């Protein structure tokens, strides 16, 4: 799947990439000014859906691949684009036994704070030590 995502990126013209990089600073300033106005860290789901099984990821490329990538990365893609630090932390399993996680998002250069929060959560829980029972 990673190879297909990289190949998909090869079809984006350099002008589009440069345009996105030009807008990045503006969006970063706006996002941080709004999102972190009353808090230091955001907590969101890592993915909008439960982790898919491997078979569900093999869509064979084509038109289904970009849709799948967009769906699975909806919560992480904007944060990555803005260059903000984020940490995904295991927090349980769904009814089918598949893992779920939350994402901690911080202001620029707040990696230490995110790691400390993630570590504190893992000290208080044991989700990160549990192995999903999938078959």
Contact 40, 116 (CB under 8 A): no
CA distances from 2 to 7, 15, 57, 83 (A): 9, 23, 11, 20
d(CA 102, CA 46): 5
d(CA 45, CA 76): 9
Q: Name, in order, each residue with C-beta under 8 angstroms of 76's C-beta and a sequence gap of 6 or more.
A: 46, 47, 86, 88, 103
Domain spans in the chain, listed from the N-terminal domain onward: 2-129
pLDDT for the residue numbered 62: 66
CA distances from 25 to 13, 18, 46, 81, 114 (A): 20, 12, 24, 10, 22
pLDDT for the residue numbered 21: 85
Q: Going residue by residue through the chain (135 aa), what tens digit of pLDDT does each one get?
A: 567 667 767 778 889 888 888 898 999 999 999 999 999 999 999 999 887 777 777 766 667 777 778 888 899 999 998 999 999 999 999 888 888 999 999 999 999 999 999 999 999 999 999 988 766
pLDDT for the residue numbered 59: 67
């Amino acid at each position: 799947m990673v190879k297909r995502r990289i190949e998909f990126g090869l079809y984006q013209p350099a002008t589009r990439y440069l345009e996105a990089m030009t807008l990045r600073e503006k969006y970063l300033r706006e996002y941080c000014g709004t999102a972190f106005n009353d808090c230091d860290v955001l907590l969101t789901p890592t993915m909008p859906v439960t982790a898919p099984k491997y078979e569900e990821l093999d869509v064979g490329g084509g038109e289904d691949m970009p849709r799948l990538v967009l769906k699975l990365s909806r919560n992480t893609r904007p944060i990555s684009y803005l260059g903000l630090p984020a940490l995904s932390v295991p927090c349980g399993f769904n009814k089918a036994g598949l893992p779920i996680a939350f994402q901690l998002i911080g202001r620029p250069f707040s990696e230490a704070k995110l790691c400390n929060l993630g570590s504190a959560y893992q000290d208080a829980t044991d989700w990160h030590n549990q192995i999903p029972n999938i078959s």
